[in-house]
């Protein structure tokens, strides 16, 4: 039998690679402390499993009552007491029989023990780990657990955790099984860390793009469309149009050619491209056009535009002098994202990507990728996105389990990855590398931004691909008249319109820079006699292509101003007797800032400058 020190050292391997080990141990330990308190409060409760999660941990119990607020408070206080009791977390190895005796009243632990002896982990999945059974004990509470834990409860801060709620769950996550009660808690190294987390949560809730999107009438989810198919309401549609014009203008100036290609194609196309082999799970099932129609083939909604842009390349013969050819499209694509992960605008099932494919000679690859990075940096600066980092996304980890997600061509992976790494190194921009994040046909440079909660997501992506050009036998005639194969660079600069909008809504909490605001100016006449002036001014601004809302409703001025403020309209122009007389407006900036009276011409000049500079105000 292994010693306590050996068992503890061996348990460290269960800490996930990207998890802070100290936090992992602390959360795991608190889960046991919670279980002790729960069982003391409800002796009939049967603990099942209680792993750490993103910001804390949960613990599932078979429990026949719904704990009241008071009972939860009792549990939290009891946890604090246990922590202050300075109990060591003692580990010892047990045999399966010993375990069965120890947990004879808990069918869940018995099932876990059976699974473990058969080489399954606690979720019932096959596991490579040797079936060593261990129990950890603090104070009076013993739990079947593989660890790892902190040394003793002294290492926990009694102010560092919070029980957030109790929800329903199922044993093994299967709704056919017995329903359980899941206690959720967030847990941190100190009370200050907990406070900071709770403040971030509050801020994130305020900025949540689903909430802001509803309040500002940007988009809505209509149940009859289905989940993952949001609709953009007029104001959201305005923002999307602005983004589209913004990015396509940049691309045009950078030598991109814009095309329109169909959203649907024969399944055959995706068989050639390899999507059918490697990406089918993310595609909607094909439509069988069957007997009725002329076509007896199957049609697919495209999950990517690459095979389509390849057809554009192939539409005529290309010579080395034509390259690079940069084909761009605001491409609609359809992905069968699982219902558990779709939500709001950030992950949808029907999306429009700011897509482009660059067909280049091998000697042009680096220069073209550098150009894309340049374009990306400029676009980000204009959008006000300042915090991001680069990730070199590679195929399956050679030390991990084998994967059929990627095309099998080690030489190609090696040379493409090396190429991207060199571009990043030469650009001088810091980056990190990650396994298992590549596209199926090649490695990527992903640009990672953080949301309010510090979670990272990908906005831009650049990929070097030698696979699809080979699959589709792409060629150009080289200077020596021989046919050569171009390299394909896939890139999305401002991501999908959906994901970018969700990001910007949260970045600005709905108070968009003036150039992106769906309504830039609200005009509020004080009384009926100012309506004419207000309307004339509104038309004048509209003629100059500004987005104006003239509020002619029979309502009090204060109410109209408050509503424009709530809608985050950057400029509110109040029009009264003195303004009409002077041909001026009283300007208020969103956020209740009074800019005083300005002649109309002066206001227009200011507006023009602000829009042009793409600033906030
Ligand atoms: P992810 O890892 O986010 O699923 P991916 O690696 O499959 O994305 P790509 O095929 O590279 O994504 O797509 C380009 C970009 O489109 C992504 O970087 C992301 O910003 C965006 N995107 C991908 N899937 C969705 C989706 N379901 N909804 C909205 N935007 C998406
Ligand atoms: Zn444990
Ligand atoms: Zn592509």
524 CB-side CA count, 13 A: 21
| Helix (H) or strand (E) run with residue 587 in it | strand 584-589
- CB of 347 closer than 6 angstroms to any ligand 1 atom: yes
User: Of the ranges 7-16, 359-368, 492-501, 525-534, which one carries the lowest mean pLDDT score?
Assistant: 7-16
Residue 402's Cβ-count burial label (10 Å; 0-12, 13-18, 19+) is: exposed
| Tokens representing residue 411 in the block | 């030489």
Residue 589 C-alpha to ligand 1 middle, in angstroms? 36
- Beta-carbon contacts of residue 126 (< 8 Å; ≥ 6 apart): 119, 120
Residue 135 C-alpha to ligand 2 middle, in angstroms? 8
Residue 305 C-alpha to ligand 3 middle, in angstroms? 6
Given this model, what pLDDT does residue 38 score? Answer: 97
Cα–Cα distance for residue pair 468/455, rounded to 1 Å: 32
Given this model, what pLDDT does residue 283 score? Answer: 95
Give the chain's count of helices (H) and strands (E).
19, 27
Q: Residue for token digits 């808990």?
A: 106
Given this model, what pLDDT does residue 126 score? Answer: 67
CA proximity to 384, closest of 479, 488, 509: 509
- Beta-carbon contacts of residue 147 (< 8 Å; ≥ 6 apart): 7, 8, 11, 14, 28, 91, 134, 136
With 60 as the cut, is the pLDDT of residue 40 above it?
yes
Which ligand 1 atom minimizes the distance to the CA of 349? 27
Cα–Cα distance for residue pair 176/367, rounded to 1 Å: 56
- CB of 337 closer than 6 angstroms to any ligand 1 atom: yes
Residue 182 C-alpha to ligand 2 middle, in angstroms? 16
Q: Can you say whether the dihedral through the CA atoms of 168, 172, 174, 178 is positive or negative?
A: negative
Cα–Cα distance for residue pair 404/416, rounded to 1 Å: 19
- CA 8 from chain center: how many Å? 36
- CB of 352 closer than 6 angstroms to any ligand 1 atom: no
Cα–Cα distance for residue pair 447/477, rounded to 1 Å: 34
State the pLDDT confidence band at 347, using cuts at 50, 70 and 90.
Answer: very high
Residue 57 C-alpha to ligand 2 middle, in angstroms? 11
Torsional class of 86: left (φ above 0), alpha (ψ -120 to 50), beta (otherwise) = left
With 90 as the cut, is the pLDDT of residue 151 above it?
yes
What distance, in Å, lies between the first and last C-alpha atoms of the chain? 70
Task: Name the pairing type of β-strands 456-465 and 487-496.
Answer: antiparallel
| Tokens representing residue 151 in the block | 């040394």
Residue 301 C-alpha to ligand 3 middle, in angstroms? 15
| CB-CB neighbours of 259 under 10 Å | 16
**Over residues 570-584, mean pLDDT:** 94
Q: Is 247 helix (H, G, I), strand (E, B) or coil?
A: helix
Task: Name the pairing type of β-strands 548-550 and 521-525.
Answer: parallel
User: Of the ranges 90-94, 308-312, 327-331, 340-344, which one carries the lowest mean pLDDT score?
Assistant: 340-344
- Tell me the pLDDT tens digit for each residue of 162-213: 999 999 999 998 889 999 999 999 999 999 999 999 999 998 899 999 999 9
**Is-contact 288 359, C-beta < 8 A?**
no
DSSP string, 329-366: EEEEEE----TTT-BTTTB-SEEEEEEEEEEE-GGGHH
**Is-contact 588 574, C-beta < 8 A?**
yes
| Torsion angles phi and psi, residue 335, rounded to 5 | -130, 135
Which ligand 1 atom minimizes the distance to the CA of 355? 14
Q: Tell which one of 496, 500, 502 to mutate to probe ligand 1, the residue whose CB is within 8 A of the most ligand atoms.
A: 496
Mean pLDDT (the chain, rounded)? 92
- CB of 351 closer than 6 angstroms to any ligand 1 atom: yes
State the pLDDT confidence band at 127, using cuts at 50, 70 and 90.
Answer: low
Ligand nearest to the CA of 51: 2
**Is-contact 70 89, C-beta < 8 A?**
no
Q: What is the DSSP letter of 485?
A: P
Cα angle value 384/389/392 (rounded, 5°): 140
Helix H, strand E, coil C: the string for 185-209 is EEECCCHHHHHHHHHHHHHHHHHCH
With 60 as the cut, is the pLDDT of residue 130 above it?
no
Ligand nearest to the CA of 31: 2
Measured CA distances, 149 to 25, 33, 38, 257, 326 (Å): 5, 11, 19, 58, 54
Please give the model's pTM, rounded to 2 decimal places: 0.84
What pairs with residue 456 in β-bridges? 450
Cα–Cα distance for residue pair 51/27, rounded to 1 Å: 8
Which ligand 1 atom minimizes the distance to the CA of 461? 18
User: Which residue's C-alpha comes closest to atom 15 of ligand 1?
Assistant: 495
- Tell me the pLDDT tens digit for each residue of 396-419: 888 877 778 888 888 888 988 998
Q: In what order do the strands lie in the sheet with 287-288?
A: 264-266, 298-301, 287-288
Given this model, what pLDDT does residue 398 score? Answer: 80
Given this model, what pLDDT does residue 616 score? Answer: 80
Percent of the chain beyond pLDDT 70? 97
Q: Which ipTM did the prediction report? A: 0.94
- Tell me the pLDDT tens digit for each residue of 415-463: 889 989 998 998 888 899 999 999 888 899 999 998 878 888 899 999 9
**Is-contact 490 471, C-beta < 8 A?**
no
Given this model, what pLDDT does residue 541 score? Answer: 97
Cα angle value 332/408/435 (rounded, 5°): 75
Task: Name the pairing type of β-strands 219-220 and 179-187.
Answer: unpaired
- CA 405 from chain center: how many Å? 21
Torsional class of 419: left (φ above 0), alpha (ψ -120 to 50), beta (otherwise) = alpha
Percent of the chain beyond pLDDT 90? 78
CA proximity to 492, closest of 451, 458, 468: 458
State the pLDDT confidence band at 365, using cuts at 50, 70 and 90.
Answer: very high
Q: Can you say whether the dihedral through the CA atoms of 590, 593, 597, 598 is positive or negative?
A: negative
Q: Which segments within 194-263 are labelled E, that is strand?
A: 219-220, 231-232, 257-258
Given this model, what pLDDT does residue 396 score? Answer: 87
Cα–Cα distance for residue pair 504/511, rounded to 1 Å: 9
Q: Residue for token digits 């596991």?
A: 127
**Is-contact 289 255, C-beta < 8 A?**
no
- CB of 499 closer than 6 angstroms to any ligand 1 atom: yes
Measured CA distances, 610 to 119, 248, 509, 516, 595 (Å): 65, 21, 19, 11, 15
Given this model, what pLDDT does residue 478 score? Answer: 96
**Is-contact 603 587, C-beta < 8 A?**
yes
**Is-contact 138 32, C-beta < 8 A?**
yes
Cα–Cα distance for residue pair 539/456, rounded to 1 Å: 43
- CB of 590 closer than 6 angstroms to any ligand 1 atom: no
- CA 159 from chain center: how many Å? 31
**Is-contact 614 382, C-beta < 8 A?**
yes
Buried b (16+ CB within 10 A) or exposed e, 339-369: eeebbbbbbbbbbbbbbbbbbbbeebbbebb
With 90 as the cut, is the pLDDT of residue 117 above it?
no
């Amino acid at each position: 039998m292994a010693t306590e020190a050996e068992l503890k050292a061996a348990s460290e391997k269960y800490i996930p690679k990207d998890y802070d080990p100290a936090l992992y141990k602390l959360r795991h330990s608190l889960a046991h402390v919670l279980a002790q308190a729960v069982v003391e409060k409800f002796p009939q409760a049967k603990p099942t499993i209680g792993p750490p999660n993103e910001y804390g941990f949960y613990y599932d119990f078979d429990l026949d009552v719904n704990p009241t607020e008071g009972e939860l408070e009792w549990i939290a206080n009891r946890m604090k007491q246990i922590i202050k009791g300075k109990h060591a977390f003692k580990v010892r190895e047990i045999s399966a029989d010993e375990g069965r005796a120890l947990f004879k009243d808990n069918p869940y632990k018995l099932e876990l023990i059976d699974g473990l002896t058969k080489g399954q982990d606690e979720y019932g999945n096959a596991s490579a780990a040797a079936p060593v059974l261990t129990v950890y004990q603090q104070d009076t509470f013993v739990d079947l657990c593989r660890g790892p834990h902190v040394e003793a409860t002294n290492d926990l801060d009694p102010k560092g955790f919070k029980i957030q709620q109790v929800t329903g769950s199922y044993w093994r996550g299967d709704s056919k099984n017995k329903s359980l009660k899941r206690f959720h808690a967030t847990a941190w190294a100190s009370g200050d860390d907990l406070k900071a987390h709770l403040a971030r949560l509050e801020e994130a809730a305020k900025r949540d793009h689903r909430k802001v999107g509803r309040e500002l009438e940007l988009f809505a989810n209509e149940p009859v469309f289905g989940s993952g198919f949001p609709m953009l309401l007029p104001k959201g549609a305005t923002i999307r149009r602005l983004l589209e014009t913004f990015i396509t203008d940049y691309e045009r100036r950078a030598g991109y050619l814009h095309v329109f290609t169909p959203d649907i194609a024969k399944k055959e196309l995706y068989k050639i491209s390899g999507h059918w082999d490697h990406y089918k799970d993310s595609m909607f099932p094909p439509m069988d056009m069957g007997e009725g129609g002329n076509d007896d083939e199957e049609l697919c909604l495209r999950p990517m535009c690459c095979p389509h842009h390849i057809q554009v390349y192939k539409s005529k013969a290309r010579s080395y002098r034509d390259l690079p050819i940069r084909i761009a499209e605001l491409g609609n694509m359809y992905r069968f994202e699982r219902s558990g992960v779709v939500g709001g605008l950030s992950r949808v099932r029907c999306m429009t990507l700011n897509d482009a494919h660059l067909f280049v000679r091998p000697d042009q690859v680096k220069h073209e990728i550098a150009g894309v990075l340049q374009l990306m940096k400029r676009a980000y600066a204009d959008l006000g996105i300042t915090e991001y980092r680069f990730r070199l996304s590679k195929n399956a980890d050679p030390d991990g389990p084998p994967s059929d997600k990627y095309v099998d061509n080690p030489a190609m992976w090696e040379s493409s990855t090396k190429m991207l790494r060199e571009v990043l190194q030469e650009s001088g921009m810091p980056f990190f590398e990650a396994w298992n994040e590549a596209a199926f046909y090649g490695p990527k440079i992903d640009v990672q931004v953080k949301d309010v909660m510090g979670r990272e997501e990908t906005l831009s992506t650049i990929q070097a691909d030698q696979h699809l050009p080979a699959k589709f036998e792409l060629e150009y005639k080289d200077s020596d008249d021989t046919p050569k194969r171009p390299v394909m660079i896939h890139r999305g600069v401002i991501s999908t319109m959906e994901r970018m909008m969700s990001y910007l809504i949260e970045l600005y909490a709905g108070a968009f820079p003036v150039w992106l605001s769906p309504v830039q100016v609200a005009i509020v006449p004080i009384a009926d006699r100012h309506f004419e002036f207000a309307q004339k001014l509104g038309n004048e601004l509209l003629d100059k292509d500004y987005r104006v809302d003239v509020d002619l409703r029979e309502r009090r001025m204060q109410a109209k101003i408050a509503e424009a403020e709530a809608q985050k309209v950057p400029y509110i122009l109040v029009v009264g007797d003195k303004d009409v007389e002077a041909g001026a407006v009283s300007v208020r900036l969103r956020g209740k800032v009074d800019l005083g009276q300005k002649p109309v011409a002066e206001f227009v000049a200011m507006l023009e400058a602000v829009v042009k500079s793409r600033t906030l105000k």
